[in-house]
Amino acid sequence: MYASPATLCAGSRMEPSVERIYREESGRILATLIRLIGSFDLAEEVMQEAFTTALEQWPKQGIPDNPRAWLVATAHHKAVDLLRRRTRFDSKRDELQRLAQLEQELSEAEQDVMRHDATSALSDDRLRLVFTCCHPALLLEAQVALTLRTLCGLTTEEIASAFLLPLSTMAQRLVRAKHKIRDAQIPYRVPPAQELGARLEAVLLVVYLVFNEGYSASSGDTAIRRELCAEAIRVGRLVCELLPAQEEARALLALMLLHDSRRATRVDSEGEVVLLEDQDRSQWDREEIREGLALVGSALRGGAAGTYALQAAIAAVHAQAERAQATDWKQIVGLYEALLRVQPSPVVELNHAAAVAMAHGPAEGLRLLDRLEGKADLREYYLLPAARGDLLRRMQQWNEAALAYRRALALAKNEATRSFLSRRLAEMEARALGS
Amino acid sequence: MQYLLLIYGNEEAVGKMTKAEVDGILQEYGEFTKSIAQSGHYRGGNELADTSTATTVKVRDKKRLVTDGPFAETKEQLGGYYLVEAKDLDEAIALAARIPSARWGSIEVRPIVPHDMP
């Protein structure tokens, strides 16, 4: 693995601009290089070399007018040089052919890069890269890792730490995926119209998983989790820009923005979980809410009715309530019912029961929770007893509530969650003694 | 690029089919083979006899060991294959999805590693 420009140019005054260009442009540059060179590994290698050259040259000669075109051209030259040097020692027929082809393409490609800049051909490269990274012939975990590595420019170390895996495991996963792309010849292209729907679903799932990994309150480095959410939103935005007719993609972007808007208020200064109803709504990110609401509105009007659209609509109802008490719970119940039809799952049923409790009273909610008890997929899930505890608490049945919280505590693994449940349990025990 | 499309299915279930059902499947296979031959993808292919007819051969210390089987304990057995020419994995997957057995069994798509003949 190589160093990122951040470490390469530590202490230098160039740092901000090269670092910024790396963050913003490396995915694009890599996407174009993969198309031109035809190999993930070689493209990564020469892109890093081009950035290293930039760090040497730009302080002396100034930043070029079009840094991206400069980097693509420099990397491309390096690829041709490298292949030329390698073929001298190892003159395989196909290598020589590839080299001749590359040299011929080089001048055309450079003109192409200079001419188009932000227009279609280069945008298409990033879209090609998204679809190749999220190809269903790759393991889902590998799709996620490869997307973060290539399109988002995260280092292997960062990805490993985000998923709490040893570096060697993550490195192996990436190597295996890149080899499969090469050896099984997974094409580098945007799928044709008749396959686009199914393939886009796979892309959206990867984006959703990346966001959830960053958003879920489970343990791990906060900075990297924030980075994952930001990257998921960035890729989501990219897909929406490049495939504007895809309503589900827009719904997913809305969903991510509306959840992300609450980021600052989800955990307090001591690192404790703050429930939605207790969050300081004045601290929610208004800009993300505004954009998220506009997106979910247009997605729903465009006919989106899938799981992202429904979840985004639920998030929108919360975002629109100025106070927790003003939440339109009846509408949320309706949306969860629709979600249960689209994607029935015990977790959705649990959320539905919680919404029913808010709309029609805790007793109604408890009745639904009773039906969920004993379902195999929920037996180990702390949220079921936690939800029961919450409803019993609202009904002021302190002893029963304490019992439920104790069961939840026995199942919960995450530290922040356990700490929250312990506080609730202590509160219930105190109330039970006092009553 | 060439790919081997390995066809896996449940032998036992095929054994229980009526003659009409088997004939229907054979006819479908015939049509599929004909169509990929016409489109230029077909490079070869065969149905394999049941695993009950299989024999395993090993040579250890110059000694030949021949055994009956293997009798796979898995639910699906290799029952046939196609060798096809396709421009990339997507095209190979599209061909695999048209094999009749894909609807009840499964197709494994394996790229062929090219070797120059000596």
A94 touches B: beta carbon within 8 Å:
no
In a domain, A269, yes or no: no
pLDDT band at B83 (very low <50, low <70, confident <90, very high): very high
B93 touches A: beta carbon within 8 Å:
yes
How far is residue A414 from each of residues A88, A375, B92, measured CA to CA in Å?
56, 22, 44
The minimal CB distance from A183 to the residues B90, B93, B111 is found for B111
Q: Provide the shortest C-alpha distance from residue B107 to chain A (in Å).
A: 13
- Mean pLDDT confidence for B104-114: 95
User: Among candidates A389, A390, A393, A386, which has minimal Cα distance to A431?
Assistant: A393
Chain A residues with CB-CB distance to B88 below 8 A: 185-187
A434 or B98: which leads in pLDDT: B98
Tokens matching residue A13: 């005054």
Strand partners, B65: B58
| Length in residues, chain A | 435
CB atoms B88 and A187 under 8 Å: yes
CB atoms inside a 10 Å sphere around CB A435: 9
Chain B residues with CB-CB distance to A187 below 8 A: 87-90
By the 8 A CB rule, do A177 and A139 touch? yes
pLDDT value for A10: 40
Q: Provide the shortest C-alpha distance from residue A6 to chain B (in Å).
A: 37
Residue where a domain stops, chosen among A118, A151, A173: A118
With CA atoms as reference, the chain B residue closest to A186 would be: B89
CB atoms A186 and B1 under 8 Å: no
Using 50 as the pLDDT threshold, list the residues of chain A that sit under it: 1-14, 118
- Mean pLDDT confidence for B55-75: 88
Rounded to 5°, angle at Cα A167 from A164 and A170: 80
ipTM of the complex: 0.85
Residue where a domain stops, chosen among A91, A118, A145: A118
pLDDT value for A107: 59
Strand partners, A205: none
Q: Residue B57 belongs to what H/E stretch?
A: strand B55-60
Q: Provide the shortest C-alpha distance from residue B88 to chain A (in Å).
A: 5
In a domain, A147, yes or no: no
CB atoms A186 and B93 under 8 Å: no
By the 8 A CB rule, do A190 and A131 touch? yes
pLDDT value for B11: 87
CB contacts under 8 A, A 149-208 vs B, are 183-187, 191, 195
B97 touches A: beta carbon within 8 Å:
no
B4 touches A: beta carbon within 8 Å:
no
In a domain, A25, yes or no: yes
pLDDT (tens digit, 9 = 90+) per residue, B35-60? 999 999 999 999 999 888 999 999 99
For the entire predicted model, the pTM comes to: 0.83
In a domain, A99, yes or no: yes
| Residue of B93, B113, B115 to mutate, interface with A, max A Cβ within 10 Å | B93
Q: Which residue has the tokens 């490079």?
A: B43
**Ordered structural domains, chain B, with CATH:** 2-111 (3.30.70.1060)
pLDDT value for A170: 96
pLDDT value for A76: 92
B13 touches A: beta carbon within 8 Å:
no
CB atoms A185 and B93 under 8 Å: no
With CA atoms as reference, the chain A residue closest to B111 would be: A184
In a domain, A128, yes or no: no
In a domain, A139, yes or no: no
Residue where a domain stops, chosen among A74, A98, A118: A118
Chain A residues with CB-CB distance to B4 below 8 A: none
CB atoms A184 and B90 under 8 Å: no
Chain B residues with CB-CB distance to A186 below 8 A: 88-90
Q: Provide the shortest C-alpha distance from residue B115 to chain A (in Å).
A: 13
In a domain, A307, yes or no: no
Q: Which residue has the tokens 């420019």?
A: A153
pLDDT value for A105: 63
What is the number of domains present in chain A? 2
B112 touches A: beta carbon within 8 Å:
no
Chain B residues with CB-CB distance to A137 below 8 A: 89, 93
pLDDT value for A122: 57
Chain A residues with CB-CB distance to B89 below 8 A: 135, 137, 184-187
CB atoms inside a 10 Å sphere around CB A192: 9
- Mean pLDDT confidence for B73-94: 94
Range of the domain at A112: 1-118
In a domain, A265, yes or no: no
B111 touches A: beta carbon within 8 Å:
yes
Chain A residues with CB-CB distance to B111 below 8 A: 183-185
Q: Provide the shortest C-alpha distance from residue A180 to chain B (in Å).
A: 10
By the 8 A CB rule, do A122 and A99 touch? no
